[in-house]
Structure 1
Amino acid sequence: MTEFELFAVELAREAARISLPYFRGTYEEVDKGGPGAFDPVTQADREAEAAIRKLIASRYPEHGIIGEEYGEDRPEAEHVWVLDPIDGTRAFIAGLPLWTNLIALRRRGKPIVGVIGQPYLDEIFLGGPSGARLLKGGSDTPLAVRRCEKLTDAVIATTDPNLFTGSELGAWTQVRAAARLARLGCDAYAYAMLAAGRIDLVAESQLKVWDWSALVPVIEAAGGEVTNWRGEAPDGAGQILAVGDVSIREQALVTLRRAAL
């Protein structure tokens, strides 16, 4: 592993050390959503990001940081860490082991190292220059996407169709109707399963930069691709399409492009 990959794993283990004891336990929780919306943040979110930031500042004080809970610090730096201390906070609150710690390193705006960590399952999905791998229980297993040339054979996922707008929901519904199987509610863990060759396509909307940055190196190193709904590099619009086999990307984009931002 490269220096930055090793450090990303170190950060993931620190995030796990902080967040795991709170899972299915007692913690403070705040709803930062507006009227009619539920956007929770927990004590685990805040403490995990604070701990990661402290390690980054100590090891690489010249690096920038973008985090969900504590904002930006030198986002214009050549190297910037992008943090989502707990992606899937609703799953965390519900006691479901589908939440993850997301950590990415960007160089000149492009994600080059990514970690999707699931502490309860003792899993760290790592992607970067040395490839994609699953670190679990002392083992180090290479990750690779699987071939799936037809959307009709695909296993697909999204977190919650209710997050889509009218046109987006219509596009997703058509893709779902064509696919073999659809799963919901997995948050970033669905992308880990795509890199592991279990899921073939994930489509989502309204994602922030900390929601998707860590996914890109993991999936790309495993042989897949991540784009927006126009088939271009992910951007601030928040529409993400991840595939293991590029053949089904084009089949899905026939529909998704109609709702692309």
Structure 2
Amino acid sequence: MVDLLPFLQQLSQVARAVTLHAPVPTADNKAGQGAYDPVTELDRGAERALRAAIEAVFPGDGIEGEEYDLVRAGSPRRWLLDPIDGTRALICGLPSWTTLVALVEAGEPVAGFIDAPALDELMIGLPGETRLNGEVVKVSDCSALGEARLSSTDPYLFAGAEAEAFERVRKAARLARFGYDALAYARLAAGHLDLVVESGLKRHDWAALVPVVRGAGGVIGDWRGGTDFDSGAIVAAATPELFEQTVRLLAVAPR
């Protein structure tokens, strides 16, 4: 798996060649009338470039991305791609958008990265370690929710019982900061945040987060305390104690 490190670094550069230093793009709305889910040509172009780079080295692997269809569904290995996570941040000229790439084997994310090109921060998760620009990082030792630094992309993305559950966690945490998408998980892995709680994530959103958080010594699972990531309801915590306290407060079935 360590031999995979140079290839992951290469993939980050492939995507950066498309997205970094590009003008703020015009966005299309792929959600249809009544909702807003922006996508730009940078999203599409970065995914095409990533797919081509993977095909050149691992032609038998499956590839699944946010913008294009799954290929080779029967392969035991699959790459999951989110070429720009945080497109809203990108089109607002904010630097918090990221590129997410994960390698999945037998349904389990085993390696991946969160790359923040505008910040020049590449966070790679491998079994047993996570590196930020080549340096090994670790999560904090926060074990009490009352001392935790919490993040979520947007509190208004929660509704009904989920909103009530998240509010219980927010009130119990020491502080909360919003709007960072996948970058929050990189900050957790580096020890700057202690807790991230989100819902509604798709497979390409969460796959790269798992090896990054775990490699740094953190815990990542679902709102029920298990590992049903396909529920889209995700909790990432610096310690098992913090994870368990958060899950008890959430105490609601994910949608």
TM-score, structure 1 normalization: 0.94
- Structure 2 residue 249 is matched with structure 1 residue 255: yes
Structure 1: distance between partners of 2:25 and 2:243: 41
**Matches of 1:188 and 1:26, distance apart in 2:** 20
1:14 equivalent in structure 2: 14
Task: Tell me the secondary structure at the aligned position of residue 64 of structure 2.
Answer: strand
Deviating more after overlay: 246-255 vs 205-214: 246-255
Alpha-carbon RMSD across the aligned residues, in angstroms, is 1.2
Match of 1:72 in 2: 70
Structure 2 equivalent of residue 126 of structure 1: 124
1:167 is the counterpart of 2:161 = yes
Aligned partners of 2:254 and 2:25: how far apart in 1? 39
User: Partner residue of 2:111?
Assistant: 113
Q: Which residue of 2 aligns with 1:229?
A: 223
Alignment of structure 1 residues 195-210 onto 2, 5 Å: 195-210=189-204
Among 83, 86, 90, which residue is 2:84 paired with? 86
SS of the equivalent of 1:51 reads helix
Does the 8 Å contact 1:2/1:130 carry over to 2?
no
Contact 2:125 2:216 in 1 (8 A): yes
Shifted more, 102-111 versus 26-35: the winner is 26-35
> Counterparts of 2:136 and 2:96 in 1: how far apart (Å)?
21
Aligned to 2:2: 2
Q: List structure 1 segments (4+ residues) > 6 angstroms apart after TM superposition.
A: none
Aligned residue for 1:49?
47
SS at match of 1:72: coil
- Provide structure 1 residue ranges, at least 5 long, that are not aligned to the other structure: none
- Give the superposition deviation at 1:201: 0.6
CA contact (8 A) 2:189 2:212 kept: yes
User: Which structure 2 segments of 5+ residues have no match?
Assistant: none
Match of 2:58 in 1: 60
| Cα distance in 1 for residues equivalent to 2:4 and 2:41 | 28
Deviations 1:133-164 (A, max 9, x none): 101xxxx2111001111100000010011111
For residue 234 of structure 1, report the CA deviation from its aligned partner.
3.4
The corresponding residue for 1:215 is: 209
* 3-state SS of 2:230 partner: coil
What amino acid maps onto 1:42 in structure 2? T
Q: Is the 8 A contact 1:171 1:259 kept in 2?
A: no
% same residue? 45
